[in-house]
Amino acid sequence: MTGLIAAGAALGMTVVLAGCGSPGGSEVTKLTLVAADYGTSAENTSRKYWDKVIDAFEEKHSGIDVEVTVLSWNDVDAEVKKMVDAGDAPDLAQIGAYADYAAAEELYTVEDLLSIQVHADFLPTLSDAGEVARVQYGMPFASSTRLLFYNKDLFERAGITKAPRTWDELQEAARLLKDEDVLYPYALPLGPEEAQGETLMWLLSGGAGYTDDIGSYRLDSEANVRTFDWLKDELVGEGLTGPVPPAELNRADAFAAFTDGKVGMLNGHPTLMQKAAQKGVDFGMVPMPGIKGEADASMGVADWMMAFRQNGHQDEIGEFLDFVYAKENVLDFSRRYDMLPVTVSAAEEMAGNADDAALVTFLDGLPSAQLYPVGKTSWARVSADIKRRIGTAVTEGGDPAVVLNALQRGAARADQPE
């Protein structure tokens, strides 16, 4: 995701699903789709999901064949860019970002493609995040939010009777865990893998974020500086974040330590549930603590479907996407890969199903979630800069105000029209 949401296995496999052609030998339209793999092995690759969806679609639409290439998250965004740059854009791409292609006028608008019913079914938070200049080009395909995970056994050992709701309670719990020799009382992954995610979660819990109310970058706001001052002085400076400096700790390593029972608390997304359960970790999940109580907003992440104009096929693409976003397909994908549904109809059904209770805990935060500013073409550069620099804000001798001000200056430059 922009890294955003769970990493797939590097399978790099292509599967061609050919239809039978339309009756009487009439012309068949072939659509090409490049999609990210949300699986972790050949056993649960996204190929199996797309195989099922496309077979069902082609059975009902004999004049349209769909050829899908499934690639790992390590490769898919770069591969689509390579195809577009070579003048060989796919009809559809399900990847991490859409804004650059929209700004270059290479995409259909969502209104060009979807039926009114399907378009209106997207969750409003996600629809809004798919817009550039108030026109929607990105169709949300998968989403997730974040919660604070905690190890119940370690909490019991440390005499902690309830999950923290405030920063002070989180600090006190971390101190008690440290006293019990827990390796990572609170794991703070500000390493280059996904530091922009951990950063946004903390900025939101401090009452601000990456942008202001009109969408301009405000990384060095007073609230953001206060948040990182607290992290530096009250968590890192007190030795409550473990043996690896936050600037060097990546999310994957923090997750692995949690599933090994070495972490008291950390922020996590839905796929961590399955990994922790497989390792026998007894864990709980609560909303991110804020300064004086539960944070006002949670962090949300979405991955995107987009349709390229290069080959035409507007009507055929629309027919296929209307089918893809049918409630049963959205629910199937969400349940297979521990993701949150992107449509109102699927979210309502999930919320009413006891079997989905764990995912519903994350779903509750989605309506008020704040996403990365993915509608900005500058976001990729700003995100990369955050990954590279933000960890230095909490090092010994580091100055959060200086680091955040430098990030703000870089963001303002990146946001200027070329």
Predicted local confidence at residue 258, as pLDDT: 97
Give me 220's structure tokens.
């060095």
Closest CA to 308 of 121, 122, 91: 91
Closest CA to 178 of 93, 268, 274, 243: 243
Identify the burial level of 102 via C-beta atoms within 10 angstroms of its C-beta, where 0-12 means exposed, 13-18 middle and 19 or more buried.
Answer: buried
Predicted local confidence at residue 368, as pLDDT: 83
Find where tokens 């693409």 sit: 317
Give the phi and the psi of residue 178 in degrees, each rounded to 5.
-60, -40
Predicted local confidence at residue 26, as pLDDT: 62
Q: Which pairing describes strands 13-17 and 92-95: parallel, antiparallel, or unpaired? A: unpaired
Find where tokens 């990384």 sit: 219
Compute the Cα dihedral for 219, 221, 227, 232 and give only its sign. positive
CATH domain 13-145+301-371 topology: D-Maltodextrin-Binding Protein; domain 2 (3.40.190)
SS3 assignment for 7-32: CCCCCCEEEEECCCCCHHHCCCEEEE
Predicted local confidence at residue 14, as pLDDT: 38
Predicted local confidence at residue 335, as pLDDT: 93
Helix (H, G, I), strand (E, B) or coil at 210: coil
Q: How far apart are CA 191 and CA 58, in angstroms?
A: 44
Predicted local confidence at residue 17, as pLDDT: 39
All CATH 3.40.190.10 domain ranges of the chain, comma separated, are 13-145+301-371, 147-297+378-414
Q: Are 179 and 185 spatial neighbours (Cβ–Cβ below 8 Å)?
A: no
Predicted local confidence at residue 194, as pLDDT: 87
Q: What is the DSSP string of 46-112?
A: HHHHHHHHHHHHHHH-TTEEEEEEEE-TTTHHHHHHHHHHTT---SEEEES--HHHHHTT-B--HHH
Alpha helices for 114-166 (secondary structure H): 116-121, 124-129, 152-157
Predicted local confidence at residue 10, as pLDDT: 34
For 147-297+378-414, which CATH class?
A: alpha beta
Q: How far apart are CA 75 and CA 78, in angstroms?
A: 6
Per-residue pLDDT of the chain (418 residues; tens, 9 = 90+): 333 333 333 333 333 333 344 444 568 899 999 999 998 788 889 999 999 999 999 999 989 999 999 998 888 998 999 999 999 999 999 998 899 999 999 999 999 999 999 999 999 999 999 998 889 999 999 999 999 999 999 999 999 999 999 999 999 999 999 999 999 999 999 998 889 999 999 999 999 999 998 889 999 999 999 999 999 999 999 999 999 999 999 999 999 999 999 999 999 999 899 889 999 999 999 999 999 988 878 899 999 999 999 999 999 999 999 999 999 999 999 999 989 999 999 999 999 999 888 888 899 888 889 999 998 999 989 999 999 999 999 999 999 999 999 999 999 999 887 6
Q: What is the pTM of this model?
A: 0.84
Predicted local confidence at residue 193, as pLDDT: 86
CA distances 97 to 12, 147, 405, Å, are 19, 23, 26
Q: Are 145 and 342 spatial neighbours (Cβ–Cβ below 8 Å)?
A: no
